């Protein structure tokens, strides 16, 4: 299915208000395919959307490729889900934006198991909480490391456990 058909199927199930389809109008076909995303309007509808995308026979998004997080620099954080269907071969990108204070999203770990570690990395690096995650702790850094490194306003600590951190 081409992306516009996928978006049409989503809109017919959930209505137009679920999100806006940002289509990249680059001349490069790869950039068009990778740069188009569905911006979800309300973060709490992510789980309903995820169940629909996974269980609908025509869409069958059974594989979550990646969850990446972005600090937009203007006080908001974005979480981007890259989905793929191994049966039909099509891909979809979802984007959810939220303010940086108290950033939280519902967890999709019970829908796609791969989201377990991906969401742990988003929590470790960007400080986004995922409600309902079974193992919500840091994955790369030490558990008592102060701060979230990939935020734009992060400043590395001067001392950590008695060790001098800057060069």
Cβ proximity to other proteins, 33 vs 151, nearer residue: 151
Asked whether position 156 contacts other proteins by CB under 8 A, the answer is yes
Asked if residue 117 binds other proteins (CB under 8 A), the reply is no
Contact between 167 and other proteins per CB under 8 A: yes
Are 134 and 124 contacting, i.e. CB atoms less than 8 angstroms apart?
no
CA dihedral 166, 77, 139, 133 (to 10 degrees): 150
Cβ atoms of residues 71 and 96 within 8 Å:
no
Task: Say how far apart CA 25 and CA 32 lie, in whole Å.
Answer: 6
Q: Quote the DSSP letter at residue 109.
A: T
29 part of the interface to other proteins, by CB under 8 A: no
Residue 139 in the binding site for other proteins (CB under 8 A): no
Number of H helices, E strands in the chain: 4, 9
153 near other proteins (CB under 8 A):
no
Site size toward other proteins (CB under 8 A) is 14
Nearer to other proteins by Cβ, of 27 and 143: the residue is: 143
- Residues found near other proteins in the complex (CB under 8 A): 140-142, 145, 149, 154, 156, 160-161, 163-167
């Amino acid at each position: 299915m081409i992306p516009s058909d996928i978006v049409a199927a989503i809109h017919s199930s959930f209505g137009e208000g679920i999100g806006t389809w940002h289509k990249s109008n680059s001349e490069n076909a790869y950039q068009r395919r990778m740069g188009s995303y569905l911006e979800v309007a309300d973060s709490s509808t992510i789980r309903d959307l995820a169940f629909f995308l996974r269980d609908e026979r025509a869409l069958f998004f059974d594989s979550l490729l990646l969850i990446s997080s972005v600090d937009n620099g203007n006080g908001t954080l974005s979480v981007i889900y890259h989905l793929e269907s191994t049966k039909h071969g099509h891909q979809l990108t979802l984007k959810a934006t939220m303010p940086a204070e108290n950033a939280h999203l519902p967890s999709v770990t019970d829908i796609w198991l791969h989201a377990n570690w991906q969401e742990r990395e988003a929590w470790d690096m960007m400080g986004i909480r995922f409600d309902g995650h079974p193992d919500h702790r840091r994955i790369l850094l030490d558990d008592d490391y102060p701060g979230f490194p990939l935020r734009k306003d992060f400043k590395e600590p001067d001392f950590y456990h008695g060790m001098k951190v800057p060069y």
